[in-house]
Each structure stands twice: as C-alpha cells, then as structure tokens.
Structure 1
Amino acid sequence: MSASLKVLKSAGLLLSIQLVQRGLGIISTLILARLLAPEHFGIIALVTIALQFFELLVETGNQQYIVQKQTLDDEDLNTAWSMDILIKSGIAVLVIGSAPALAAWFEEPALTWALAVASLALPIRALKTPGMMRLAREINYRPLFRLTLWQKGLSFITVITIAFIEPSHWAIITGNLVSAAILAAGSYRVDQHRPRWTLSRFRQQWGFSQWLLMRGLIGFTRSQIDNLLVSRFFGTTQLGGYNLVREVSLLPALSAIIPMSEPLLAAIAEVKSRPEALAYRVQLSLALMISVLTPLALYIFLFPELIVLTLLGEQWTEYGPLLRPFSLFFFTFCLFALLSDAVIAMGRVRALFFFDLVSTSMIIAILFYFGRAGLENMAWARGVLAVFTTVALLAILRSWVGFSILRVAWLCFPAITSSAAAGWLAFRIDTADMHAVVAFLITGSFFIVSTAALSWLTGYGLLRRSEEWQQLHHTMRTMIRARSS
C-alpha cells in the first residue's frame, strides 16, 4: 500500500474516531453551557488549565520517539511504557501535594480536591500497553476505533449524568477518570503486546524526549497565557466567557483537522533522508491543510454572533465578538501544529524548542502590555500574534526543507478564492427574521456546498494536470476501489 493511501485511510479512521470523541464532547459542552453560568465555566477553565499544565509536564514524547525511530524493538516499547508510568506517577503525587497552594494562588478553594482527584488520571492512562504506539508508527488506527467508542461513550454518559444531578466541575473530572480507566484496560484487548518493566533505553529516549518535555512547558504557556492573564485582569466570570468562546473556535481543529493530520508525521518521517521527497510531502501537506482551514476560518470570521447564539445560547452573546479574532487563532493553531510535526519528524526538536521559547516570551510581553484594555483587545492581540509566529515557523521550515511557497499558494488558490466567493454570497443572505438555528443551518449549508463546488470546479480547471492533483485523484480512486471490493 502506498504511503499516500495509508495516510488517507488512516486520516479517515482518525476522523471517525474524532467524530465520536469530539461529537460527544461538543454535545456535552453545549449541554453544560445551558446548565452552568459563566462563573461556573471560569472554575472549570482553571481546573482545565492546571490539568493541561501537568499533562504537558509529564509528556515524555515517547510516541513521537517511537514513530520517528528507524528500527524498533520490544525494549524501546517497554522503556517508553516504564518511563511513562514512572514520570506520571511522580507528577500525580506532586499535584496532590501542591493542590492547596495552587488553589490559594487562583483564589479558588474548590481547586484543592478537584486537582488532587483529577491528577489520578495521569498514572491510570500511563498503564495502557505501549503496543498502541507501534500501531501509530505503522499508521494503523483501526484497532483504536472500537476502544474509542467505549471510552468516550461511557465517559459521556458519566459526565452528563453527574451534570444533571449536580452541575459542577466534578462531572468533568469523574468523566476524565472513567475515560482513563477504560483506555488503560481496553488497550490490552486491541493490542497483544504485554509490557515488562525496564529502563534499558532510558538514555536514548530521554535524549530525544527532554526537548519535547521542555517544549511542552513552553507550548502550554503560549497556548494558555491569555487565559491566565484574563483570570488575573478581569476575574473568573470573564474568564468563563472568554475561554468557552475560545474553545468553540477550536472545535473544528480538535475534532477533526489536527487528528486527521497525525498520519502525516509518520509519512514525513519516512522520507526525511530524501530531500526531494521530503519537500514534496511537506508542500502537499501544507496545501491540503490550508485548503481545509480557509473556509472554516472565514465562516467563523463572518458569523461570530450567530455561531455563539446557536451553539451556546443567549447568555453568552456578549462574548460573541471574541469569535472573530479567534478565527485567526483557529487557523494558525492547526497550521502551527502541522509545521511543528514536520520539524519533529525531521528530528530538529531542539531547534523547535528554542523557537518556541523566543516566540512565547514575545507573546507574553505583548499580551501583558496590550491585553489589559479589555477582552476583545486580548483576543485580537492573541490572534495576530499567532499569525506572526506561524509565518516565522513556516519560513524556518522552508529554509530547512526547500519547498516552494509559491507552489503552495498556487495549490491553495482554488480553496481560497472559492471560500471568498461563497462567503460573500452567504453574508448577503437575509437572516434578520429567522430563528438563530435556522439561520445558522441555511448560511452554513450554503457556504459549505458553494465552497466545495467552486473549489472542485476551480481546482479541476487549474490543477488537474499537476502532479499533486493526479496523486490525490489516484489515491482516492484506489481507496474507493478498496472499499468496494
């Protein structure tokens, strides 16, 4: 099977997995948005920020190490598993001990027990078989699909049940623990590898992973600094609205786009020693990503208040304008993730760490200076800064790989122009007398159908003789025949 076909088939499976995961997550969020007030979401945001910090603190980068390694044996897998358990168990103990101090710093006493209990998910998830990493290396995500159905389904039932009985952050924490337990236990049903304790390859893995760990800390700071500053400048209630709208803007990214791009890491790693093939795959990956992101980001930019009113309800409409600058954040969030994965696949983790360190320092300084004026200033500053850092990383990657920016722009031209035309038409639909849900469905459906049709027509007219178009066309036909046979 060709690498392109494997990537596309795996991307389809990952999309199915994420449709289950994020679909239930979106439903859960929409239900909770109608059960909880902004101040409640502020507390949830603080819990989430703290948990994400500790999640990143214990991210050993073992999967990235396994995926990019040229040769792999059981000692590599078992060492990765042992390191994961050792580090995550230690961090869980640290979280439990520091929970009172963190609660005092955030001025939220409820965080003490919430963080202590939530930290138990770290060592539980670490118990999953390392054979799951080998499946990712082989671009084989089919065994994960059934496990995901059980994991997210039972977690969703737990969250919603508790939320209806007693709406609070405990619903999310309990659901997270249930999800971790099912993942750990179920992984041994979908993969036959049975690990044993060993740290024989600790030095090699840590030499690779230490930079990912430090980069994770920097990345967390960059991704959450605006939330932290909002909580300090404007209080918990404003943080609740700001963070929820920010999360809504990232729903397409976390639900489908980033997970679907995960197989590209393995595909790029396969050809990292062949400059021409590497440049071609990075170039094609960027063109595909931008072509998908452009219409989604444009729709978010054009209809922010309608999206917030439809998805979250009237109590959140005052935060609707924040969604417009967050459309920039969404676009660059996905593109930056792809660029980072390409750099990691090339083995340049240390250089990526220093780039993140410098760019994050600049982001913190600028947000601290400009963000005090209000939530919208903070959101716009965050969106514009995300654009600049993404462009900078793109320029660095181009200097290493040597792909053509003009070629990427030409490949993206059909999607960009079609999105602009469809957006212009959709924005002129009169929805003044329509219910919000009806207006959302009409404008969204019209925009999607128009963009897809115009993109295909334009692409066929301009790109059908290109190597990239021919490859995608051949891969899609091969995949369709494989499905039907």
Structure 2
Amino acid sequence: MNSIASRLAKGSMWISAARGLVNLLGFISTIVLARLLAPSDFGVVAIGNTLLAIVGSFTALPLSQALIQHKAPTADHFHTAWTLGALKGILLGVVFAIFAQPAASFYNEPHLVNVMYALAFSMCLSGLGNPRRIMLQKSLVFWQDFMLSVSQKLFAVATAIVVAYFFRSYWALVLSIIAGQIASIAISYTALPFLPKIRFVHYRDLLSFSMWLTFSQVVNTLNWRFDQLLIGKLLGRTEVGYYTVGDTLAVMPTREATQPLTQTLFPAFSQLNGNKERLRQGYRRAQAVVTAVALPLGVGMALVAYPMVEFFMGAKWLAAVPVIQALASIYALQTLGSLAQPLGLSLGGTRMLFIRDTQLFAIRLPLIAAGLYFGGLHGVLIARMFTGTIAIGFNFFIVRSLIGIPVLAQILSNARSLTSCVLMGLAVYSAQDVGMFLQAEFGLLPRLLGLVAIGGGVYLTSMFMMWWFAGRPIGPETELLRVVTGTWARFERYRLAR
C-alpha cells in the first residue's frame, strides 16, 4: 500500500506539473486567440469539433483502458490495438469528410466545409498513435508522459498563435489541432520505439472490455456536446462561440485539479481491487484531496470571472461571463463525486457507468432543449446547473454500490472544504467595494489579484482552523502539510549541499 501510495503521489506530481504547463499554455493560447479572432471564428470550429466528437463516439474503441486493465498484455495486444485504432481513424475520417457539405448546408455556414475536411484528416492521424504510451500509466511511471503532453501542447499553441497573428482566421484553431497530433505521434514513437504490425489476434479480448465503454462514450458525448449543436443552429455561431469559450475556461480549474489524480487512480485502484477495505480507504482519502483542491478553484473562477475576462480578453467577450460563472460553479460541485469514474473502471463496472450516462442523457436532453427554447443561452445555463446537480447524486450512488460508502458519509468527508468555500464566497462578495476601489485607482489587474488573494486567504485559513479544532484528523490538510514539509526538507538538503 505504501509503495503504491508513494508511486501514486509521484505520478500525480508529474501529471499535475504536465497539466499545469499544458493548461498554462492553453490559457495563454485562449487569451491570445480571443484577442486576435472573433467569437464567430471559435463558433464555426466548435460546431465542427462537436460533430466530430459525436461521430467519433460511435466508433470509439477505448483500447487504452483495456490495456491498463489487462494483467499482462503481450506484443500482439499492442499490434492489435494499433490496427484497430488505425482502421477506426481512417473509417471515421472518410465518413466525416463525406458529411461535410450536408452539414454546412444545414447550418448555412460555408466555412464549415473546409473545417470538417481538415478535422477529417486529423481523425485519420489520431488512429496512428503509439499504443505503448498507455503502459506508462499502467506502471505508474509518468515523467515520460509529462514530456509527451507538454511537447504536444507546445507545438499546438505555437501553431495557433502564429497562424492567428498572420492570417486572423479560424484556421489557427484547426491547424493547431493537426499540429498537436503530428507532434504527439512523432514524439511518442521516438520516446517509446514501436514498429506496428497489422494484427487481429486479441481483438476479442480488447473489444469485450471496451464494449460498454464505447456505448458509454457515445451517450456521454451526445450528453455533453449536443447543446453546442442546438445553440449553433438556433442562436448562431457567435453565441456558440461565447458558450464554447466560456465552457472551456469554466472547466479548466476543476478539470486540471482532478485530472492528475483521476489519471493515476484508475491503475492504482486496479491494483487495490482485491481488498475492498483498502480500496475504500484509498478512495475516501483521494476524494477528499480532490475536493479540497478543485472545489475552491472552480468557485474562485466563478467569483472573479468578470474582471478576468475584461482584463485578459477584452470587452467583446463579456457575454461569456455568465457562462463561466454558472458552469464553473457546477463543475466545482461535481468534484464531490468525480472519482466514481476511475473507481468504476478499476472494478470492471463499465455497464454501471453506461447506465448512469444513459440516465443522465435522458434527463439532460429535454431540459436543455426546453431551456434553450424558453430562455435562450441563459435557459441552457440554468438547465445545466440543475442537471449537473443530479449527476453528483448519481456518482454518490455508484460509489455506494461499488464499495459501500454511504452517501451521507461521502458528503461529510468533504464538510470542511464545502464550509470553507461558502466562507470564501461570502468574503469575496463582501469585498466587491474594495475591488472596485482598486480598479478605479490602479486598474483591473489589481482588482483581480486582490479578489484572488482575499478568496484564497479565507479558504485556507478557515480550512486549517476547522481541521485544527477537529483534532487534526487525517485528511487533505495532512497531505498538504506533508507535501510542504517534504518540499522544504528537500530544499534545505539542497541548500546545505551547496
């Protein structure tokens, strides 16, 4: 357990560093492109990406998860995975290109044709990736994955900014996707040498595990993408541009806080699934850490959305502020059950995850459609907040079914984080007059930094005070102090060695 926990901690640190750099680059790219491009440019590419994601989900083969879950994959497993992935990519690319013209006519958007042709080519490339890359996660070795992820994003961001600067066109967004994929393929085969061969030997083993995940991905993609298609059709590409960029910024803090642990916990939980009690303890500790980190980041993003957008992106993007405020709040709350996914995968509960996604889709589709019809973009946001709350309950029940932790116990495990976030929100709301004074005297940036400092200070202070008065139980505060003291000790050793 200690060995796995140590490797898990190191893996999370590497993935956190990778995600931090990747999303810093992504944030810079979004801000620069928002300055150089119009919301409608983001809108037309968002429509193309959404169509690609939906079509791709029907032929999705989550082979990487199958390779992780397999006890001892052989060379033929990797060759089979590469063959299936390449065939899927080529087939999907051809089908997507065929539907480019009809889709452009449906949306009355002539630029969509070329966007879909380019995305079809990117899909062909996506099937050529190195399947051995996933073994880095299976072995809980993540530093190489760090190099691959950061290099890929760097190529994509550089391409986007250069093209946008010289051409001021939506092609910056499209070509960055292709550049990132080409870089990923080239670097992965260089770092992890692999000569693929056409094989179908183990296709039954891989597909049997992947079947329910494929069904789940179809439903999940429809669930989280169809709203962009509806907005693009009924409100236009400018509105879908606001919605897409707002959604991207809203999810960034919570996704990047949860992704490192989520990515490491699937293989880690897989190694613990023979002992329910150890798995139960590991889940509760991991979920408490994720909530303590991700919840305040998401709520904080909602609280400072207005000055952040106005300072970094300009007044033309202020229509995206309500999107960020609503979605960042619900994404933050959804971290409470965010580890149900890796837990279900590690225990082979793919059918249960599929049923969850299907039920959520049946609830979400009519509510968002009704919200769009009666309230436009604001109606969609209200519907998403409501359905997001329902999704939290679904995840709680999945965890209870899999490892027997009661729903109330799952909530109470995060009580200090929830209470501290409420206090943080009240403090930032009360400090609005101070923020306006700072803006009037010094500009937007001091107001933004001041609100961030107030919110972060209140959250950390209240969190540690409640932990102290509770008798300093083992929890996220313990993990944080351990990381801080360990980092300080290493710094001291390095200083004395010099």
Q: TM-score, normalised by structure 2?
A: 0.90
1:452 aligns with 2:452: no
- Measure, in 1, the Cα distance between the counterparts of 2:45 and 2:477: 45
Q: 1:141-160 to 2 correspondence within 5 Å?
A: 141-160=142-161
* Counterparts in 2 of 1:191 and 1:457: CA distance versus 1, 3 Å: farther
Does the CA-based 8 Å contact 2:295-2:335 persist in structure 1?
A: no
How far apart, in 1, do the equivalents of 2:109 and 2:483 lie? 53
Cα distance in structure 1, aligned partners of 2:381 and 2:189: 43
The alignment yields a C-alpha RMSD, in angstroms, of 2.5
Partner of 2:168: 167
CA contact (8 A) 1:125 1:183 kept: no
Q: Structure 1 residues 197, 5: closer, same or farther in 2, change over 3 A?
A: same
Tell which deviates more after alignment, 382-391 or 393-402: 393-402
Query: Shift of residue 254 of structure 1?
Result: 3.8
Q: What SS is found at the alignment partner of 2:405?
A: coil
Letter in 2 for 1:127: L
The corresponding residue for 2:222 is: 221
State how far apart, in whole Å, the 1-side matches of 2:383 and 2:104 are: 28
Cα deviations by residue, 1:304-356 (Å, 9 ceiling, x for unpaired): 42333233221122342233321233225555653222212211112211221
SS at the partner of 2:72? Answer: coil
- The residue number in structure 2 matching 1:417 is 419
Aligned positions of 1:51-450 closer than 5 A: 51-332=52-333, 334=335, 337-372=338-373, 373-429=375-431, 430-433=434-437, 434=439, 435-450=443-458
One-letter amino acid of the structure 2 residue matched with residue 296 of structure 1: L
Q: Is contact 1:23–1:255 with CA below 8 Å preserved after alignment? A: no
**Aligned-partner SS, 2:414:** helix
* Kept after mapping to 2: 8 A contact 1:96/1:115: yes
Per-residue deviation at 1:407? 4.0
247-256 or 218-227, larger mean C-alpha shift = 247-256
The Cα of 1:443 is off from its aligned counterpart by 0.6
Contact 1:147 1:186 in 2 (8 A): yes
Question: Offset at 1:482?
Answer: 7.7
Q: Residues 469 and 244 from structure 1, CA distance in 2 versus in 1: closer, same or farther, beyond 3 angstroms?
A: closer
Give the Cα separation in 2 of the matches to 1:437 and 1:476. Answer: 29
Could you say what secondary structure the match of 1:164 adopts? helix
User: TM-score w.r.t. structure 1 length?
Assistant: 0.92
Q: Within 2, Cα distance between the matches of 1:119 and 1:334?
A: 33
- Structure 1 residue 202 displacement after superposition: 0.3
Quick one: distance in 1 between partners of 2:277 and 2:470?
A: 24
Range that drifts further, 428-437 or 135-144: 428-437
Unpaired stretches in structure 2, ≥5 consecutive residues: none
Which residue of the partner structure matches residue 21 of structure 1? 22
What CA distance in whole angstroms lies between the structure 2 residues aligned with 1:478 and 1:101? Answer: 59
How far off is 1:478 after superposition? 6.7
The 3 A distance-change label for structure 1 pair 125 and 334 is: farther
How far did residue 142 of structure 1 move? 0.6
Q: List per-residue Cα deviations over 1:79-127 (Å, max 9, x = no partner).
A: 2122111111111111122211222222212111211122222232332
Q: Which moved more, 1:25-34 or 1:72-81?
A: 72-81
Q: Classify the secondary structure of the residue corresponding to 1:196.
A: coil
Listed one character per residue, the Cα deviations across residues 30-55 of structure 1 (whole Å, up to 9, x for unaligned) are 11112222222221221221233344
**Any conservation in 1 of the 2:288–2:413 contact (CA below 8 Å)?**
yes
CA–CA distance in structure 2, aligned partners of residues 468 and 402 of structure 1: 22
Residues 211 and 349 in structure 1, CA contact (< 8 A), matched pair in contact too: yes
1:49 counterpart residue number:
50
Q: In the TM superposition, what are the counterparts of 1:461-480 in structure 2 within 5 Å?
A: 461-462=469-470, 464-466=472-474
Q: Does 1:32 align with 2:33?
A: yes
Cα 1:332–1:339, aligned 2, differ >3 Å: closer, same or farther? farther
- The percent identity for this pair of structures is 20
Contact 1:5 1:479 in 2 (8 A): no
Is 2:29–2:157's contact at 8 Å kept on the other side of the alignment? Answer: yes
Distance 2:335 2:417 in 1: 17
**Counterpart residue type for residue 431 of structure 1:** G
Q: Secondary structure at the match of 1:128?
A: coil
Cα distance in 2 between the residues matched to 1:196 and 1:459: 56
Task: Tell me, yes or no, if the aligned pair for 1:309 and 1:317 is still in contact at 8 Å.
Answer: yes
Distance of aligned partners of 1:185 and 1:195 in 2 relative to their CA distance in 1, 3 Å threshold: same
Distance in 2, Cα, partners of 1:261 & 1:323: 23
- Contact persistence 1:99–1:115 (CA under 8 A): yes
What CA distance in whole angstroms lies between the structure 2 residues aligned with 1:335 and 1:49? 27
SS where residue 2 of structure 1 aligns?
helix
Matched residues in 2 for 1:420 and 1:2: separation?
37
1:31 partner letter: V
The answer to whether the 8 A contact 1:129-1:194 is kept is no
Displacement after TM superposition at 1:364 (Å): 0.4
Consecutive unaligned residues in structure 1, runs of 5 or more: none
Counterparts of 1:301 and 1:216, CA distance in 2: 28
Per-residue deviation, residues 222-243 of structure 1 (Å, max 9, x unmatched): 1122222222332222222122
> Corresponding residue for 1:6?
7
CA distance in 1, matches of 2:444, 2:481: 38
Aligned-partner Cα distance in 2 for 1:108–1:115:
11
CA contact (8 A) 1:47 1:111 kept: yes
Q: Does the CA-based 8 Å contact 1:226-1:382 persist in structure 2?
A: no
Structure 2: distance between partners of 1:439 and 1:67: 47
Residues 43-86 of structure 1: CA deviation (Å, up to 9, x unaligned): 12212212333443443111111112223322222221221111
Contact 1:283 1:404 in 2 (8 A): no
Q: Distance in 1 between matches of 2:488 and 2:209?
A: 39
How far residue 365 of structure 1 moved from its aligned partner, in angstroms, is 1.2
Distance 1:150 1:69 in 2: 29
- 1:121-165 Cα offsets, whole Å, 9 max, x none, are 223233232221111111111112223333222221111111011
Cα separation, 2, equivalents of 1:49 and 1:463: 49
